[in-house]
Amino acid sequence: MEKITDRLFSWASILDENARAQAVTTSTMPFVYPHLALMPDAHLGLGATVGSVIPTLGAIIPAAVGVDIGCGMIAVKTQFTRDDLTANEKGLTELREQIERAVPLSAGGVNRRVVETAAPRIADLEARAAESGFDPALYAKRWREQLGTLGSGNHFIEVSADETGAVWLFLHSGSRGVGNRIAGHHIEVAQKLMTRWWIELPDRDLAYLVEGTDEFDRYIAELRWAQHYALLNREEMMDRVVRQTSEWMGVPVIEQERINCHHNFTEKERHFGKEVWVSRKGAIIATDGAPGLIPGSMGTASYVVEGAGNPLALNSSPHGAGREYSRSKARKTFTHDQLREAMTGIEFRDTDAFIDEIPQAYKPIDRVMEDARDLVRIRHTLRQLVNVKGN
């Protein structure tokens, strides 16, 4: 850990100067208390650095939560072993294709109908929205049809095996279009308030909402709804992946463990003697013993962890590997052949659309986990057998 300033502590041994400067700027906001904690996977983001844990008194920066509200991970441990999968004569390609048919992929992907497992989840979300006094359709008309869809970018579905050979089903996604639009709306509201109040900011994306105002209350209500949407979206997709795996294996999946955790979210917590709003933008809760998930990049290891409860890190840990190359730079730097080499032995859809997700575009996940050694304890190391992504 490095103490960069009195208000900024960093666990990132790999940190470019732009991300470092951005984190320093965010940490100077007057309502940050007691300090900003920068995770090992930190990299440049919108307003606030991805990989930031930002505790605040009486205010929240919407852009510091992230535009994919509630984005996170879910994993299920099954009774199957690696040998069970490799012995299946149907082949892993068929399993991948079954998953791809069951879960709509890519940006803008929607379900053609509301399936049986999604219906009660949608009813729950409708009731919560009504209770909060807003209509999600004003942000995204097809939010119901997007429940149970993956998206694109670094979102994925994987079938992996841990160090004992046990098979895990693992996926990463968030609140889809509706969460993105909720975030964008409230970032804009905050920016307009800064202009109205003649408040000058070091970065316009650090615009904030003040606790006790109507704008703050509306944001919190819609933020919590979007966080719940993201959680249910992952549950719905995982139920489908479980079902497809059961059909492919010919016997039902017996779930031995299920973990579902956000890494773009805000919660009220107590730290250093005060009640604060903690915005984790690319970080997971890591209170002592809390289960968590830290994925590597496409083709590398992922981790099932438990929190170490580090108070200086505000009981947090990294959420993944963290980018070293922007998407555009990665596409200019790496080749399709390099991607194929990185994915040797893993069943995936072989397309150059995923070049910007190549492992070399990210920090080495083993380096990130070494940096996080006082933040989490590793329970299991997962290696991919099947990878599913959207373009």
pLDDT digits (tens, 9 = 90+) for 213-236: 999 999 999 999 999 999 999 999
Rounded average pLDDT over 331-344: 93
Q: 304 and 248 in contact (C-beta within 8 Å)? A: no
Amino acid at 57: L
pLDDT at 107 > cutoff 90: no
Given CA atoms 238, 241, 243, 246 in this order, what sign does their dihedral have? negative
| Average of per-residue pLDDT values in the chain | 95
Q: What pLDDT score does 152 carry? A: 87
Query: What was the pLDDT predicted at 167?
Result: 98
Q: Which two tokens stand for residue 320?
A: 């993944």
Helix (H) or strand (E) holding 133: none
The pLDDT score that the predictor gives to residue 106 is 81
- How high is the pLDDT of residue 114? 81
What is the Rg, in whole angstroms, of the alpha carbon atoms belonging to the chain?
A: 20
Q: How far is CA 1 from CA 4, 168, 318, in A?
A: 9, 32, 13
Give the model's confidence band at 109: pLDDT under 50 very low, under 70 low, under 90 confident, else very high: confident
Range with the poorest average pLDDT among 17-31, 301-315, 317-331: 317-331
Specify the pLDDT at position 249: 97
Do 27 and 8 touch, CB atoms closer than 8 A? yes
Which domains does the chain possess? 2-389 (3.90.1860.10)
CA neighbours closer than 13 Å in the CB half-sphere of residue 160: 29
CA 254 vs CA 168, 246, 248, 376, 384: distances in Å: 11, 9, 14, 27, 20
Question: What integer pLDDT is reported at residue 153 of this predicted model?
Answer: 85
Average pLDDT over residues 24-40: 97
Q: Dmax over Cα atoms in the chain, in whole Å?
A: 67
Q: Is 62 helix (H, G, I), strand (E, B) or coil?
A: helix
The encoded tokens of residue 134 equal 């807003």
Three-class secondary structure of residue 357 per DSSP:
helix
Determine the distance from the C-alpha atom of residue 280 to the mean position of all C-alpha atoms in its chain, rounded to a whole number.
10
Q: Name residue, tokens 């010919």.
A: 250
Q: Is the pLDDT score of 112 beyond 90?
A: no
pLDDT, tens digit, 9 for 90 and up, residues 160-183: 999 999 999 999 999 999 999 999
Whole-number pLDDT of residue 221: 97
Cα dihedral 289/267/138/260 (nearest 10): 0
How high is the pLDDT of residue 110?
Answer: 87
Annotated catalytic residue within 262, 263, 271, 319: 319
Closest CA to 238 of 260, 261, 254: 260
How far, in Å, CA of 383 to CA of 391, rounded? Answer: 22
Please choose, from the candidates 377, 386, 389, the residue with its C-alpha nearest in 3D space to the C-alpha of residue 86.
386
Which residue would you say has higher pLDDT here, 297 or 5? 5
Residues 3-31 have a mean pLDDT of 96
pLDDT digits 0-9 by tens, 356-375:
999 999 999 999 999 999 99
> Do residues 31 and 56 lie in contact, with contact meaning Cβ atoms separated by under 8 Å?
yes
Amino acid residing at 143 = W
- Residue 319 annotated as catalytic: yes
